[in-house]
Amino acid sequence: MNPRFKHLYNDLPADYVDTFKAIFDSASFAGVLTPQQVKQLQQCTALDEQQLKVTLLPFAAAFSITPISKFNVGAIVKGATNNLYFGANLEFSNVQLGQTVHAEQSAISHAWMKGEQEIVDITINFSPCGHCRQFMNELSSAQQLTVQLPSMDAKSLQEYLPESFGPKDLGIESGLMSPIDHGFSSANDDALVTDAIIALNKSHAPYTKNYSGVAIEMLDGTTVHGSYAENAAFNPSLPPLQVALVQLQMQGMDFSHIKQVALAEINDASMSHLADTQNTLEAINPDIAFTYIALDA
C-alpha cells in the first residue's frame, strides 16, 4: 500500500476502497488519471465528474510538502485530452517564501510538462489566493477556465478575478501552455544540458525573453525537466527549477535523491534564474552537482 494515501482509505465508503487502491497504490501512479481511470472511479462511486474531483482532492493534497505552513492544498486540473493532473503545494525550508509553489501552479505546470496545451477546469480544496488567480490568468484558456471548490457552484476564473490584468494588456496574444518552440540548441552535448535546453525551448517568457529550463537527474537515473512560466504581473512567475521539482513531487520522488541539475537560460537577459536556482538547491542539498549554460539570443 502507498503510505501517502493510507490514511485516506479510512475516510472513503467501504465499497470504494478496492477500486481506489487498484489505481492509487499502483506503482505506475504518478498523479495523473486517464479518462479510462476517471470512468472506472465514476462507475464505482456513481459520482459525476465534478463530485469525483472534489472527492479526489485529499489524494492530491497528500503530495504536499509543507515544512513551513503544514497547510496542505490539493488541486486537480483537467486538460484538453481529458486527463486529470494532480498538484499540491511545495515549500522549501531556509529560503525566502517567493520560492514556494502553490497547488494551482503545481497542477497546471504538471499538466503542461506532460504535454497538455490547454486547461479546461481546476478543482481546489481552498479558494484560490490572489497570486494563483493572476497565475491562471496567464493561461491560453484563461477566458474559458472554470474553478470548482468543494460545496460551491463552479465559477469562471474571470468571476474570481474581475477587471483582470493579463497578457493582452501588454500586447501578448500567446498565453501560457500555447505550444511553442524557441529553437535554441548548443554545441554542448551533455545529456542533462540538452534536456534543460528542451525545457528552455518550451518556456513561456514573452516579457523578459529570458527563455529558460531546468533538467534534474536523480540517483537512480530518472530525469525530469521544467520550463519557466513567466507572468504578466511578474511576481506570480514560476521559475524553471520549481516546475521541474513539481514533476519529481508528483512522481513521489524524494528530493534528497537528486544527483545533478542543469539550468539553461539566455545570455545577458534582463533577469536571471541563476542565483535563486543555486540558493534553493543549496537549501535542498549542498551536494547536488550543478551545471549552468547561458545561450546567446
Question: What residue ranges bind Zn ion (CB under 5 A)?
Answer: 102, 129, 131-132
Whole-angstrom Cα distance, residue 57 to residue 64? 11
By beta-carbon proximity to Zn ion, the closer residue of 128 and 213 is: 128
By beta-carbon proximity to Zn ion, the closer residue of 102 and 202 is: 102
- Catalytic residue (choose from 104, 138, 217, 230): 104
By beta-carbon proximity to Zn ion, the closer residue of 134 and 247 is: 134
- Smallest gap from residue 104 Cβ to Zn ion (A): 6
Count other Cβ atoms within 10 Å, centred on residue 273.
23
- Smallest gap from residue 19 Cβ to Zn ion (A): 31
Is 230 designated active site?
no
By beta-carbon proximity to Zn ion, the closer residue of 21 and 131 is: 131
Whole-angstrom Cα distance, residue 115 to residue 290? 26
- Smallest gap from residue 172 Cβ to Zn ion (A): 22
Give the strand pairing for 146-148 and 119-124.
Answer: parallel
Task: Name the E strands within the chain.
Answer: 32-33, 74-79, 84-88, 119-124, 146-148, 155-156, 213-218, 223-227, 258-266, 289-295
Whole-angstrom Cα distance, residue 229 to residue 144? 20
- Smallest gap from residue 220 Cβ to Zn ion (A): 32
**In b/e form, how buried is each residue of 134-150, taking b as 16+ CB within 10 angstroms?**
bbbbbbbbbeebbbbbe
- Smallest gap from residue 36 Cβ to Zn ion (A): 31
At 98 the three-state DSSP class reads helix
By beta-carbon proximity to Zn ion, the closer residue of 106 and 141 is: 106
Closest CA to 222 of 198, 202, 184, 195: 195
Count other Cβ atoms within 10 Å, centred on residue 101.
23
Positions marked catalytic:
104
